[in-house]
A = this chain, B = another copy of it.
Amino acid sequence: DESLHEILGIDKKYRSLGIIGARTGAGPHAISADEAVKASNTEVIIFETSNDTKGGGGHGNLIVFGAEEVSDARRAVEITLNSLSWAFGGVVGNEAGFLEVQYTARASHVLAKYFGAELGKAWGLINGCPASVGMLMADAAVKAADVKIVKHCSPGHNTCFTSEFTIFVTGDSGAVKQAVLAGKETAIKLLRTMGGEPEAMAKPYF
């Protein structure tokens, strides 16, 4: 609707909007939406995050895809929702907290626009809650492989005041994967000392 376009400052060429919102899982949604723009004629024009109000310690999100055709907007939403089934495999947690790792060999526009990626290059997300877990993951990750930190988040910086510490890294595809997996290994050991056996929310995809 024109009014909604106006108040949100959305270009009128995007006659169709694809809208996704969730109270948890901003990381899985980010990489899923990135897959969606790779495979559809759309752009993400809004990606906002919220403090996870379901008790999980992370972020929720609101994602708006802009498209000229309604079929494109619909396709972007479908791809995003389907991709979540593997992307949640990057989240592993127990009652004390969680880790999240995401990895792509070829980042697209969503990760570039909102999460520090370089278009077409490898990108990784290394995140832990509470923030101390994330900080120790980050330390292990940058020691394990030659990667560049392109953005970081902490309770007071670039988060919605969540109890998380996150780094986004780029570099050679093998190095990014190695860094991400080193972070994950560190977090699993830490979470084990803080609570029960950490469980993945879906089958890990890498």
User: Could you tell me which A residues sit within 8 Å of B by CB distance?
Assistant: 1, 3-4, 7-8, 19-23, 46, 48-58, 60-62, 64, 97, 129-136, 138-139, 142-143, 149, 152, 154-157, 159-165, 167
Is chain A's interface secondary structure helix, strand, loop, or mixed overall?
A: mixed
Closest to A128 in B: B21
Contacts of A129 in B (CB 8 A): 23
Contacts of A52 in B (CB 8 A): 53, 163
Closest to A164 in B: B50
Q: Which of A50, A135, A139, A157 has the most CB of B within 10 A?
A: A50
Expressed in whole angstroms, the Cα–Cα distance for A135 and B1 within the complex equals 11
- A21-B135, A50-B162 known; 9 new pairs, CB 8 Å cut-off, are A1-B143, A20-B132, A21-B130, A22-B132, A48-B157, A51-B51, A53-B56, A53-B163, A55-B55
Task: State the number of copies, please.
Answer: 3
- Asked whether, in the complex, the Cβ of A162 is within 8 Å of the Cβ of B130, the reply is no
- Asked whether, in the complex, the Cβ of A163 is within 8 Å of the Cβ of B62, the reply is yes
Expressed in whole angstroms, the Cα–Cα distance for A21 and B136 within the complex equals 11
Expressed in whole angstroms, the Cα–Cα distance for A117 and B124 within the complex equals 41
Shortest distance from the beta carbon of A167 to any chain B beta carbon, whole Å = 7
Expressed in whole angstroms, the Cα–Cα distance for A154 and B62 within the complex equals 8
Rank and list the top 5 A-B pairs by shortest CB-CB distance, nearest first.
A21-B132, A160-B161, A21-B130, A50-B155, A48-B156
Contacts of A156 in B (CB 8 A): 48-50
Q: Which of A49, A58, A152, A162 has the most CB of B within 10 A?
A: A162
Closest to A51 in B: B161
- Asked whether, in the complex, the Cβ of B50 is within 8 Å of the Cβ of A131, the reply is yes
